[in-house]
Chain A
Amino acid sequence: MKITALMVLKCNPEGSDPVILANASDVNHFGYFQRSSVKEFIVFVGRTVAKRNPPGQRQSVQHEEYKVHSYNRNGLCALGFMDDHYPVRSAFSLLNQVLDEYLKNFGESWKTVQSDNAQPWPYLNEALAKFQDPAEADKLFKIQRELDETKIILHKTIDSVLERGEKLDSLVEKSSDLSAASQMFYKQAKKTNSCCTIL
């Protein structure tokens, strides 16, 4: 069970790339030299998924052993990068909470933000640590009723989130969020593991 990152983004109705308002990640379980690429990927995937999340909807996107959960509430979008086994219900409780906290802290100021914000938001970092145990998120659930009302759209791959004809591979190649090093990292991750050669 692991939450690797939590993010808050502003989705632009005209369809341009979403703007990052807050981003907290914990990449310590990755190798030292992979961490920067992982962080870049989080930004890239986060933007890609948020951009295609219609307002008022919840979606869960599977990517290998990870799941990206996102919830767009009137243009303000919260995302969580969890592993496959983090309970979905707990994940969305947490995203709800993150959005509530964000509005409480920053009001409507996000509507005018035009560029990514690199400033840390302490609450998000604390939440990232605290909710590693889904039992903590379940405590939130008890006071949230709204959660039951909207259905979740489930996607088995990132490709299925994309518009027809778009492929993750080509988005990776084009992305300005990804350095050459991260592109290499992406390709290496597709290499099959040699542990299958047990004989």
Chain B
Amino acid sequence: MGELQVEKHVKYILAVEKRKDNFESVVMEHLRLNGAYWGLTTLDILGKLDAVDQDEVISWVMQCQHEDGGFGGNIGHDPHMLYTLSAIQVLALFDKLHVLDVDKVSSYIAGLQNEDGSFPGDMWGEVDTRFSYIAICSLALLRQLNKIDVGKAVKYIVSCKNVDGGFGCTPGAESHAGQIFCCVGALAITGSLHHVDKDLLGWWLCERQVKSGGLNGRPEKLPDVCYSWWVLSSLIMIDRVHWIDKEKLAKFILDCQDTENGGISDRPDDAVDVFHTYFGVAGLSLLEYSGLKPIDPAYALPVSVVNKVILPCRP
């Protein structure tokens, strides 16, 4: 089995950040804040966060904020929940949450909650359990969960539970490992995991492991490194990770590395990108690969960061 190419991945992430001179990199600019979060978290897990200019990142992040408190994916882009969470997470990585007007950001998020407890992604209103997770995770990091009706938010998430134990984006929608992460994560943060049928969901999640050791996100799909994060973190949260073959999964992730230029791809021999580099490294961290900082499966941030942010307020 190959080793994790730490130095090469660091170099790759730093280089991706700088590229703005070709079509492939600029078409991703609308979600740059999102990309920044994945890239920076990866660097932190690898112990290399000091390789970036903190002040530069923070000043750019703050320029993505709108008057209503929400963040856009880049400067000049409309605000959206997705990027608001990314902004909070990036600031948390640098232990700089205090630069935020906490009241303003949390009001933006809380203001989006619907009567039934669900959340849309922005003012245009499409509801999705992903946004429930984002609201709960963001507000927990800001210690402002009291601003929303948590009971109703949980109730809505539970209404998206399926017969197979999984969750979809709205009630009755097909189970999907990414959506399951969001729902289980939100329930974990709010201390509501008793709503999950752990054996049944654990079973479904374990069935995602295919012969190569990789995980897929739905039945009959090809394996993809991103599910090393979505599935694995969910399994850990419901305490069923000992049901899968961890060694084979680690091997699958390591096989997806570009050992020459760094970065990790969805499957062996495919082209790498910053997202899958995160998913791979974070997955290995969950598998307790040596030399990596442990990552928190619910907050998707290094445990050390979560401890700094959350612990002080715990009774």
Residues of chain A at the chain B interface (Cβ within 8 Å): 64-65, 169, 187, 190-194, 196-199
Contacts and interface: CB of A to CB of B under 8 A. Distances in A.
A62 to B, nearest CB: 11
Contacts of B279: 196
B266 interface: yes
A157 to B, nearest CB: 8
A197 B275 contact: yes
A190 B270 contact: yes
**Candidate in B85, B134, B265, B271 with the most chain A CB atoms within 10 angstroms:** B271
Contacts of A191: 270-271, 273
Given A64-B222, A197-B31, A192 B273 contact: yes
Contacts of B271: 187, 190-192
B9 interface: no
Contacts of A65: 222
A65 B267 CA distance: 13
Contacts of A199: 34, 82, 85, 130, 133-134, 178, 182, 300
A64 B276 CA distance: 18
What are the 6 tightest A-B residue pairs by CB atom distance, in nearest-first order?
A196-B226, A192-B266, A198-B178, A190-B270, A190-B271, A191-B271
Contacts of B275: 192, 194, 196-197
Contacts of B273: 191-192, 194
B305 to A, nearest CB: 17
B269 interface: yes
26 contacts: A64-B222, A169-B269, A190-B265, A190-B269, A190-B270, A191-B270, A191-B271, A191-B273, A192-B224, A192-B266, A192-B276, A194-B28, A194-B273, A194-B275, A196-B224, A196-B266, A196-B276, A197-B31, A197-B34, A198-B178, A199-B34, A199-B85, A199-B130, A199-B133, A199-B178, A199-B300
B178 A192 contact: no
Contacts of A190: 265, 269-271
Contacts of B179: 198
Contacts of B276: 192, 196
Given A192-B266, A199-B134, 14 more contacts: A187-B271, A190-B269, A190-B271, A192-B272, A192-B273, A194-B275, A196-B226, A196-B275, A196-B279, A197-B275, A198-B130, A199-B82, A199-B130, A199-B300
Interface SS of A by simple majority: loop
Contacts of A64: 222
Contact of B265 (A169, A192, A194, A197): A192
Nearest to B256: A192
Nearest to B134: A199
Nearest to B265: A192
A187 B275 CA distance: 19
A187 B269 CA distance: 11
Given A64-B222, A198-B130, A199-B134, A193 B266 contact: yes
Q: Among A191, A194, A196, A199, which residue has the most Cβ atoms of chain B within 10 A?
A: A199
Contacts of A192: 224, 265-266, 270-273, 275-276
Nearest to A192: B266
Nearest to B269: A190
B109 to A, nearest CB: 15
A192 B225 CA distance: 10
